[in-house]
């Protein structure tokens, strides 16, 4: 079993113990993809199910209604089309906007064409919040916005993504690695080192709200492991609060296991356990922007060891996620090491254990 690793987050002269890093990748070769047992119905990610209550009509023919599992509010336009989905207890909002296509032709033939835009609200959603000033102001600014959302952020780190620097000359986006080569690694077994967080990619120290400071390592520059990638997208770029470890501070924890077991957000696929029998039997509750958690490596015991983000349906009707992986050395929706599908019976579909909406 893989052991725990030393943290590079310090508070004063005290090293904060970082719980074993997320992103352990199995030493076993991926088994051949097979027809699936987990079904997903391509009825439109935002259409939902289990509705309750009557719609409240607003200006311009817009109407609000409530859906269950999980509890959420849905805004529809006068034509009946979904304009926004907002989940109780979550800050991520899924809005309908111009169609976009996300693809990675060097790694997969999958293409995700979607009208879903996922943005971060300033507060967690609650039933009736559509009447509150903070939401009216936020929605007015974002409903027609073409500014980068979570998906745009995510694809700014895939292979070939162009570099861009901020006004201080720090490269904050561009093609990211998973991590440096592991001197003791081998093909199919920890070829690259984990523990590369967003501040390693940036190459600058990062002060966390609990007083700790993340210290980058030069060898990890421009690298993001699976949880580091999610923290870059949701935290550094979208400004979701970040913890300095799995236990210190408030916000998004450091590792996949910490994120999955955190009280932050809403468990849309609750964690039942880490064994094969604990795989969710259905994934219809998932929607764009949800975090999905996997059990890939037996060496990590009861810990979940990989995290990704739901992107949407590809043109063949499969539900696709994006994550940073060792095999392709960085963020991807590719097929190398296993297709990026959450439905069916492929490698990642079989190792899915839970999902959370932040």
Q: If you write DSSP's letter for every residue of 288-306 in order, what string do you get? A: TT-EEEE---GGGTT---E
Higher-confidence residue of 284 and 193: namely 284
What pLDDT sits at residue 40? 35
State the average pLDDT over residues 3-30.
37
Whether 55 contacts 76, CB under 8 Å: yes
| pLDDT band at residue 9 using 50, 70 and 90 as cut-offs | low
What pLDDT sits at residue 249? 74
| Cα–chain center distance at 144 | 23
Asked whether residue 272 is assigned to any structural domain, the reply reads no
With 90 as the cut, is the pLDDT of residue 13 above it?
no
Asked whether residue 118 is assigned to any structural domain, the reply reads yes
CA-CA distance, 225 to 179, in Å (whole number)? 6
Asked whether residue 144 is assigned to any structural domain, the reply reads yes
What pLDDT sits at residue 55? 54
What pLDDT sits at residue 248? 78
What pLDDT sits at residue 116? 98
With 50 as the cut, is the pLDDT of residue 312 above it?
yes
CA-CA distance, 246 to 293, in Å (whole number)? 15
Per-residue pLDDT reduced to its tens digit, 140-171: 999 999 999 999 999 999 999 999 999 999 99
Percent of residues, the chain, with pLDDT higher than 90: 76
Q: Which of 108, 119, 47 is nearest to 314 (CA)?
A: 108
Asked whether residue 177 is assigned to any structural domain, the reply reads no
| CA-based max dimension of the chain | 63
Which residues form the domain of 144? 63-152
Q: How big is the CA angle at 206 (ends 328 and 238), to the nearest 5 degrees?
A: 65
Helices (H), 156-271: 198-202, 226-230, 256-261
With 70 as the cut, is the pLDDT of residue 212 above it?
yes
Per-residue pLDDT reduced to its tens digit, 224-233: 999 999 999 9
What pLDDT sits at residue 54? 52
With 60 as the cut, is the pLDDT of residue 48 above it?
no
Q: How big is the CA angle at 232 (ends 292 and 143), to the nearest 5 degrees?
A: 80
Higher-confidence residue of 1 and 339: namely 339
Per-residue pLDDT reduced to its tens digit, 60-69: 689 999 999 9
What is the CB-side half-sphere exposure of residue 127 using CA atoms within 13 A? 10
| pLDDT band at residue 59 using 50, 70 and 90 as cut-offs | low
With 60 as the cut, is the pLDDT of residue 45 above it?
no
Q: Got the DSSP string for 130-178?
A: GGSHHHHHHHHHHTT--S--HHHHHHTSSTTPPPEE-TTS-EEES--BS
| pLDDT band at residue 218 using 50, 70 and 90 as cut-offs | very high
State the average pLDDT over residues 249-264.
94
| pLDDT band at residue 346 using 50, 70 and 90 as cut-offs | very high
What pLDDT sits at residue 193? 81
What pLDDT sits at residue 180? 86
What pLDDT sits at residue 183? 79
Asked whether residue 83 is assigned to any structural domain, the reply reads yes
Whether 308 contacts 325, CB under 8 Å: no
With 60 as the cut, is the pLDDT of residue 82 above it?
yes
What pLDDT sits at residue 357? 98
Asked whether residue 50 is assigned to any structural domain, the reply reads no
Average pLDDT value over all residues in the chain: 86
Q: Which of 136, 109, 103 is nearest to 122 (CA)?
A: 136
With 80 as the cut, is the pLDDT of residue 22 above it?
no
What pLDDT sits at residue 192? 80
Count of domains for the chain: 1
With 90 as the cut, is the pLDDT of residue 300 above it?
no
State the average pLDDT over residues 324-332.
94
Whether 330 contacts 104, CB under 8 Å: no
pTM of the model: 0.86
Asked whether residue 179 is assigned to any structural domain, the reply reads no
Residues with Cβ < 8 Å from 80, sequence gap 6 or more?
Answer: none
Asked whether residue 8 is assigned to any structural domain, the reply reads no
State the average pLDDT over residues 78-86.
96
What pLDDT sits at residue 350? 97
């Amino acid at each position: 079993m893989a052991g725990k690793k030393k943290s590079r987050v310090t508070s004063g002269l005290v090293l904060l113990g970082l719980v074993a890093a997320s992103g352990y990748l199995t030493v076993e070769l991926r088994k051949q993809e097979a027809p699936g047992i987990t079904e997903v119905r391509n009825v439109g990610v935002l259409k939902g199910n289990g509705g309750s209550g009557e719609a409240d009509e607003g200006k311009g023919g817009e109407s609000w209604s409530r859906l269950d599992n999980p509890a959420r509010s849905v805004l529809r336009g006068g034509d009946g089309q979904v304009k926004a989905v907002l989940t109780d207890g979550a800050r991520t909002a899924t809005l309908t906007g111009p169609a976009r296509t996300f693809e990675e032709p060097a790694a997969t033939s999958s293409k995700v064409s979607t009208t879903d835009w996922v943005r971060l609200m300033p507060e967690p959603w609650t039933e009736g919040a559509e009447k509150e000033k903070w939401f009216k102001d936020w929605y007015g600014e974002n409903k027609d916005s073409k500014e980068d959302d979570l998906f745009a952020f995510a694809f700014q780190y895939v292979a070939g993504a162009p570099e861009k620097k901020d006004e201080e000359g720090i490269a904050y986006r561009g093609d990211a690695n998973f991590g440096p080569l592991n001197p003791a690694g081998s093909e199919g077994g920890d070829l690259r080192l984990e523990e590369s967080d967003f501040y390693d990619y940036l190459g600058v120290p990062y002060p966390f709200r609990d007083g700790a400071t993340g210290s980058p390592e030069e060898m990890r520059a421009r690298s993001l492991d699976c949880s580091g990638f999610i923290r870059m997208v949701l935290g550094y770029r979208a400004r979701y609060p970040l913890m300095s470890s799995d236990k210190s501070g408030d916000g998004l924890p450091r590792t996949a296991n910490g994120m999955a077991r955190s009280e932050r957000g809403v468990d849309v696929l609750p964690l039942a356990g880490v064994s094969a029998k604990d795989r969710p039997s259905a994934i219809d509750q998932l929607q764009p922007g949800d975090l999905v958690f996997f059990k890939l490596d037996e060496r990590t015991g009861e810990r979940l060891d990989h995290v990704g983000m739901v992107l949407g349906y590809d043109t063949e009707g499969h539900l696709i996620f994006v994550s940073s992986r060792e095999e392709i050395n960085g963020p991807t929706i590719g097929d190398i090491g296993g297709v990026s599908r959450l439905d069916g019976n492929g490698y990642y579909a079989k190792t899915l254990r839970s999902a959370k909406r932040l």
